[in-house]
Amino acid sequence: MAVLSPPKVGGRPDQQEPRARRSKGGLAGRLFEYLSVGAGLLILVTLAAVAGFLVLRAWPALTASPEELQEISWFGSSTFLGYVGPLIFGTLLASLLALLIAVPLAVGIALFISHYAPRRLAQSLGYVIDLLAAIPSVVYGLWGALWLAPTLDPAFRWMTDFLGWIPLFEGYQPPAKNVLTASIVLAVMILPIITAVAREVFLQAPRLHEEAALALGATRWEMVRMAVLPFGRSGVISASMLGLGRALGETMAVLMILSPGFLYSFFLLKPGQHQSIAANIASKFPEASGLSVSALIATGLALFVITLAVNMFARWIISRRSEFSGAN
Amino acid sequence: MTTTTPELTSVTPARTRLPSWSPWAFAAGSLVLAFLVLLVLSSPTPAGVVLLGAVVYAVALTVTSRVVEGERRANDRLATTLVTFAFALALVPLVSLLWTVITEGAARFGPSFLNTNMVGVFGEMTEGGVYHAIMGTLYITLAAAAISVPIGILTAIYLVEYGRGHLARGVTFLVDVMTGIPSIVAGLFAFTLFTLVFGPAYRAGIMGAAALAVLMTPVVIRSVEEMLRLVPNELREAAYALGVPKWLTIIKVVLRTAIAGIVTGVMLAVARVIGETAPLLLTVGIVADVNWDLFDGRMATLPVYAYRQYSQGGIGVERAWAAALTLILIVMLLNIVARLVSRYFSPKASR
């Protein structure tokens, strides 16, 4: 690794030469290289430390007996899995709902920016969507709890009146502090990242394919469907996965909007049914001590593992795609 | 429906098309229609008119186009409509959020709000402000930047200039993975790290700074890496040809060329973490006064302040809105300055 460094001028045959010239950099050069390699290694160490410390602190809770766990006042179950199960369910439900709302919208927005909007406007429209990503999560929480929930109230009333025969929409009670409101806010929060990635991919769709489709008499929508969307499919999937990773770990919006409950429940409009891992940690951690801290850290570990898996999957799709797209 | 089959087979150029102004005409017509319908049924609100008008517009334009222009054109128009609506729909939360924060926040926002702290403020007293929280936020974020910027830049240099083989690929992958760490997990990590070393009751600003640094480092690495890759190879080769050692080339040529982009990337990364709430809630908590000691005791920060005031209710909600406005102003300021830096100081043709 050290040998390969400086100029490419010398060519390959005499590998001794660059090494000799390299030593002119002397101690400072060596030091600088070690420093930068060390920084790279530090990333490795940090990630390992995150996992390691969490496991270390979560261990007492993971191995505690049911009697010990019962002593934690808010621990409604006798096993750790029994406690974390509904939380994982709530986290996944809220995030998947958010994804369901955000992905079609984000694809539409990305298409609008990449293929429909006037060329000159496109970049500034992209900035406008990126603005959504700049807004702090606590502000989203305030907005969701104090503006969106009252605004959605009539819509939810209507849904439970007319669609109440579908179990999903049964039994709405105001105020709208339910999982659907939280998911809508999460959807707004993950919209910019999905849009940004999808837009990049759509812009990379081969120009020749697009022009060929148009030349054959396709309408703009047919061109998009035949040339752009198939090309962008894996990009959209990985963008959704990245968005899912964001939504899974989002704390404040859920904490401030959702009225918590610990059930496996599909009633989207009922309050007091769900809670996400992150929001649960944030609400209980400041008052926790001893074993309850360990229990909360253990739920955090579960969240870490889930998001890690989702993100790795997303990155894997992206890397697989980049191998293919080199060919076109 | 029944007549479409022969038309599909003969895509003749002589088909009639709707005039190019027809979408605008349809839009105006549907809005008027929606207004009238709502006037008859109940009282029309702007939101209701726009919502109903949008539905009427989509249906009417598609049906008309199907009758006049045929199925393919109709689908095309429907797709255009839906895609445009998707964009318009995304603007709704943005506009309403900014509007609510500004109008609600303006009630309490002002010089006295920015210049006082919360010492001796109880119950429904209208005094009290965010001075201590602004200072805490700036202090902790600066500390986080001081940790993550050198590490981030050095790692990016490693990845672009030195990195080969498995280690570099592994680091790239881990940086991507690190981008996805939930903020609350970063907070838990900082908490466990510092409480293991300094005892379970230890609380200090540095804990929050460490948590933010974990979140910020991958963002810094990504943007700096991108900037370093934009530096043309010819510049490096020219420096080597003059006999400049590699490390000096990196510092004097590569970094200097990319400095504007690096500053922009760092500022955007700061803007991203300055609003983080959850990790600070776990590690730093809240106090009523300014705490200048980064290594001892709780500190107040703007996001946590906003959250605490909100959960207090009553007059606290007004303070929460004002704090949110302050926070958004800081974030927007950072964003604008970052964009200006990249616009005016970067070398030409940087994409």
Which residues 6+ apart lie within 8 Å of A17 measured at CB?
A: A10
Q: What is the pLDDT of residue A10?
A: 40
CB of B54 closer than 8 Å to CB of B28: no
Q: Is residue A233 part of a domain?
A: yes
Q: Residue B163: its chain A contacts at CB < 8 A?
A: 40
pLDDT digits (tens, 9 = 90+) for A285-320: 888 878 888 888 999 999 999 998 988 888 888 777
DSSP string, A217-246: T--HHHHIIIIIHHHHHHHHHHHHHHHHHH
Confidence band of A5 (pLDDT split at 50, 70, 90): very low
Residues A316, A287 share a domain: yes
| pLDDT, tens digit, 9 for 90 and up, residues B14-59 | 567 888 888 888 888 888 888 888 888 877 778 788 888 888 898 8
Q: First-to-last CA distance in chain B?
A: 50
Domain count, chain A: 2
Are B307 and A219 inside 8 Å of each other by CB? no
Q: Do A95 and A210 belong to one domain?
A: yes
Q: Is residue A3 part of a domain?
A: no
pLDDT of residue B348: 58
pLDDT at A131: 84
**Do A199 and A130 lie in a common domain?**
yes
More confident residue, A235 or B147: B147
Q: Do A249 and B185 touch (CB under 8 A)?
A: yes
pLDDT for the residue numbered A326 = 40
pLDDT at B3 over 70: no
B186 interface with A at CB cutoff 8 Å: yes
Average pLDDT over residues A261-281: 85
For residue B248, pLDDT beyond 60? yes
CA A181 to chain B, closest CA, distance in angstroms equals 13
Euclidean distance between CA atoms B79 and A218, whole angstroms? 14
Q: Residue A4 domain-assigned?
A: no
On whether residue A11 sits in a domain, the answer given is no
Average pLDDT, chain B: 85
Residue A2 falls inside a structural domain: no
Q: What ipTM does the predicted assembly reach?
A: 0.85
Spatial separation of the C-alpha atoms in residues A254 and A185, rounded to whole Å: 8
Question: Which residues on chain A are in Cβ contact (under 8 Å) with B221?
Answer: 43
Dihedral (C-alpha) B195, B201, B202, B204: value to the nearest 10 degrees?
Answer: 120
Kindly report which listed range (A84-98, A167-181, B89-103) carries the lowest average pLDDT score. Answer: A167-181
Q: Which amino acid is at B4?
A: T
Q: Would A244 be classed as within a structural domain?
A: yes
State the Cα–Cα distance between residues A250 and A240, nearest whole angstrom.
15
Cα separation, A173 vs A70, whole angstroms? 32
Per-residue pLDDT for A3 more than 50? no
Averaged pLDDT for residues A190-219: 89
Structure tokens at A188: 């707004």
In this structure, what token pair is assigned to residue A37? Answer: 């390699």
Range of the domain at A33: 16-60
pLDDT value at position B4? 46
| Cβ proximity of A156 and A179 under 8 Å | no
Assess whether A74 and A52 both reside in one domain.
no
Q: Are residues A165 and A39 in the same domain?
A: no
pLDDT per residue as tens digits for the range A147-202: 998 888 888 888 888 887 888 777 787 888 888 999 999 999 999 989 988 888 88
pLDDT of residue A323: 56
Q: Å from A251 to nearest chain B CA?
A: 6
B284-312 per-position pLDDT tens digit = 888 888 888 888 888 889 999 999 889 88
| Backbone φ and ψ of A107, nearest 5° | -65, -40
Q: Are residues A193 and A247 in the same domain?
A: yes
Q: What is the pLDDT of residue A189?
A: 92
Report the alpha-carbon distance of residue B298 to residue B282 in Å, rounded.
Answer: 11
Of the three residues A8, A34, A60, the one that is the final residue of a domain is A60
**Stretch 261-280 of chain B: residues touching chain A, C-beta under 8 Å:** 271-272, 274-278
Intra-chain end-to-end CA distance of chain A, in Å = 32
Q: Are residues A193 and A297 in the same domain?
A: yes
Query: What residue in A sits closest to B285 (Cα-Cα)?
Result: A286
A4, A38, A109 member nearest B87 (Cβ): A109
pLDDT value of residue A95: 93
Per-residue model confidence (pLDDT) at position B22: 84
pLDDT at A25: 62
Q: Greater confidence, A11 or A141?
A: A141
Q: Does B46 touch chain A (CB under 8 A)?
A: no
Per the confidence metrics, is the pTM higher than 0.80?
A: yes
Q: Name the region of A79 (left: φ>0; alpha: ψ -120 to 50; beta: rest).
A: beta
Looking at the fold, whether A214 and A297 belong to one and the same domain comes out as: yes
**CATH code of residue A295:** 1.10.3720.10
Asked whether residue A8 carries a pLDDT value surpassing 50, the answer given is no
- Confirm or reject contact between B226 and chain A (CB < 8 A): no
pLDDT digits (tens, 9 = 90+) for A57-69: 888 888 888 777 7
For residue A255, being part of any structural domain is answered with yes
Residue range(s) of every CATH 1.10.3720.10 domain in chain B: 131-345
Q: Determine contact: B198 vs chain A, CB below 8 A.
A: no
Q: What is the pLDDT of residues A95-148, one digit of tens each?
A: 999 999 999 999 999 999 998 988 888 888 888 888 888 889 999 999 999 999
pLDDT at A105: 93
Q: Class assignment of domain B131-345?
A: mainly alpha
Q: Is A263 helix (H, G, I), strand (E, B) or coil?
A: coil
Verify that A52 and A144 share a domain, yes or no.
no
Q: Are residues A223 and A266 in the same domain?
A: yes
A34 and A78 co-located in one domain: no
The pLDDT value recorded for residue A197 is 87
Complete DSSP assignment for B56-97: HHHHHHHHHHHHHH-HHHHHHHHHHHHHHHHHHHHHHHHHHH
Q: Above 90 in pLDDT, residue B242?
A: yes
Contact B101 A50 (CB under 8 A): no
What is the C-alpha to C-alpha distance for residues B140 and B284, in angstroms, rounded to an integer? 10
| Angstroms from B217 CA to nearest CA on chain A | 9
- pLDDT at position B53 is 87
Provide the pLDDT for residue B127.
78
In this structure, the answer to whether residues A163 and A37 fall within a common structural domain is: no
Joined together, the tokens standing for residue B60 give: 């009417």
Calpha distance A43→A53 (Å, rounded):
15
Whose tokens are 């293919």? That residue is A324
Domain presence at residue A295? yes
What average pLDDT does range A26-39 have in this prediction? 86
